[in-house]
Amino acid sequence: MKTSKKAEIDAKIKENVVTSGTIFIIKFADILNANNSSPEVISHYMQRVLHSIFFIGYVSKPRVYPEEFIPEKILESFKEKFPGPFKDYLSHVPHQTPYSILLEFMSENKNCNEPKILMQELWEINKSLWKTDTNIGYQPVANDFTATVIAYSCYGDINGNNNVNSAYGSSISCKGRVPRRIMIHISVLQVWDLAISYAVCQEGDSPALVFPNQVCCKAYNFHCNSNCFLEVPPCAKCMKSFRGVKFNPPCENPDDDPTWPYGNCAENESLNKLLKGCQDLRSRILTEKNIQGKQMDIIEIETMFKKEKEEKLKKNLKNLLGSQNITLRKDNRKLQSFQPM
């Protein structure tokens, strides 16, 4: 490719990342303020979103620096109010993408028993996060940080409405192959329940994880050019990874192999949160039978993950971060996670 053409494409990609980040930060500040949240809550969530956007900007190609995301007139006040993210974006990793943090705030602060009510609110937020270009038929020209799929999982007596545990999750919401792979690796190594990490690492191979059959999962897709959010079936990767889960609607094309990596889908984060919030469910997780007819329980799954998967994943992540000029401290093999002050 000619150098000038490549420079033009790079400039466009960078412009999209910057615009996406800026719109996201401004909108998120509005959401926090409109909710009458306390200064402590605003600071907690805002620091996490800023740090996540700054980190993803830095590992994107072309690179984006924190100062480029914040409009000049508010830059100094942001640095004063939220110094942590400006200081730690190179040395600490985020645990979630910006949209996943937004979803956490929404699900903790809104009435979330009925997923459709939350989806309607998220739909309104997404509409204001998307910068559209009507010349190309309402296609979004930015927002790289908006999740297009949200999953809702629940466990328990869903008919009687008693003792139902539920959790929401979003798809990995950042663009670019490397940033996405980095965020999936961080999730697998440091964020998700090891049962989910195991399932993601199996990449559809047997023995898959088996959930008890009282677990249901529903996903919603947000399309910029349609007027609503739609219920969508899981992809073949999720269906193969999470056996026993009652997906509604069910998987339509179990033989298709989608292009996105294992770990990318909203189902992972949602089922992870469901497991973390419910010890009873956790204790009932098994794998399928292996060729000797044996099933692993949760303790054996964790041991197997640590013994056979963890080291390789750490090495991959170190290489991915190294490729973006982020080096881990030698004395701290476990990545430092960002903590809001």
What tokens were used for 58?
A: 């830095």
According to the binding rule CB under 5 A, does residue 106 interact with Zn ion? Answer: no
Interface segment toward Zn ion; rule CB under 5 A; list 62-70, 134-142, 201-209, 231-239: 231-239
User: Would the CA dihedral through 113, 272, 336, 317 be positive or negative?
Assistant: negative
- What binding mask, one character per residue, do residues 264-293 give for Zn ion by CB under 5 A, x or -? -x----------------------------
The C-alpha atoms of residue 316 and residue 166 are separated, in whole angstroms, by 33
Residues 85-123 as b or e (16 or more Cβ within 10 Å = b)? bbebbeebbbbbbbbbbbbbbbbeeeebeebeebbeebb
According to the binding rule CB under 5 A, does residue 200 interact with Zn ion? Answer: no
Task: Give me the least distance between CB of 236 and Zn ion, in Å please.
Answer: 8
Give the per-residue SS3 of 294-305: CCCEHHHHHHHH
Interface segment toward Zn ion; rule CB under 5 A; list 3-11, 59-67, 228-236, 245-253: 228-236
Task: Give me the least distance between CB of 237 and Zn ion, in Å please.
Answer: 5
What tokens were used for 256?
A: 């298709």
Looking at beta carbons only, is 259 or 292 nearer to Zn ion?
259
Q: How many CA atoms lie within 13 A of 150 on its CB side?
A: 27
Q: Which residue is nearest to Zn ion (CB)?
A: 265
Contacts to Zn ion from residues 249-268, by CB under 5 A? 265
Looking at beta carbons only, is 217 or 298 nearer to Zn ion?
217
Parallel, antiparallel or unpaired: strands 209-210 and 242-243: parallel
| Closest C-alpha among 31, 3, 212 to residue 104 | 31
Task: Give me the least distance between CB of 258 and Zn ion, in Å please.
Answer: 7
Task: Give me the least distance between CB of 259 and Zn ion, in Å please.
Answer: 11
Residue ranges of alpha helices (H) inside the chain are 3-34, 39-58, 66-69, 72-81, 83-88, 98-109, 115-129, 177-186, 194-202, 236-241, 266-276, 279-283, 298-308, 310-323
Number of C-beta neighbours around residue 241 at 10 A:
27
Task: Give me the least distance between CB of 203 and Zn ion, in Å please.
Answer: 12
Q: What is the DSSP string of 140-158?
A: EEE-TT--SEEEEEEEEET
Looking at beta carbons only, is 64 or 239 nearer to Zn ion?
239
Residues 286-300 as b or e (16 or more Cβ within 10 Å = b)? bbeeeeeeeebebee
- Candidates 118, 186, 219, 238; binder of Zn ion (CB under 5 A) is 238
Contacts to Zn ion from residues 158-187, by CB under 5 A? none
Q: How many CA atoms lie within 13 A of 175 on its CB side?
A: 17
Looking at beta carbons only, is 51 or 237 nearer to Zn ion?
237
Looking at beta carbons only, is 138 or 260 nearer to Zn ion?
260
Task: Give me the least distance between CB of 267 and Zn ion, in Å please.
Answer: 5
Site size with Zn ion, rule: CB under 5 A? 4
Looking at beta carbons only, is 88 or 269 nearer to Zn ion?
269
According to the binding rule CB under 5 A, does residue 235 interact with Zn ion? Answer: yes
Looking at beta carbons only, is 237 or 309 nearer to Zn ion?
237
Looking at beta carbons only, is 42 or 151 nearer to Zn ion?
151
Looking at beta carbons only, is 265 or 281 nearer to Zn ion?
265
Task: Give me the least distance between CB of 265 and Zn ion, in Å please.
Answer: 3
Task: Give me the least distance between CB of 104 and Zn ion, in Å please.
Answer: 20
The tokens 């907690």 sit on which residue? 44
Interface segment toward Zn ion; rule CB under 5 A; list 10-18, 187-195, 229-237, 299-307: 229-237
| Closest C-alpha among 120, 59, 45 to residue 89 | 59
Binding residues vs Zn ion (CB under 5 A): 235, 237-238, 265
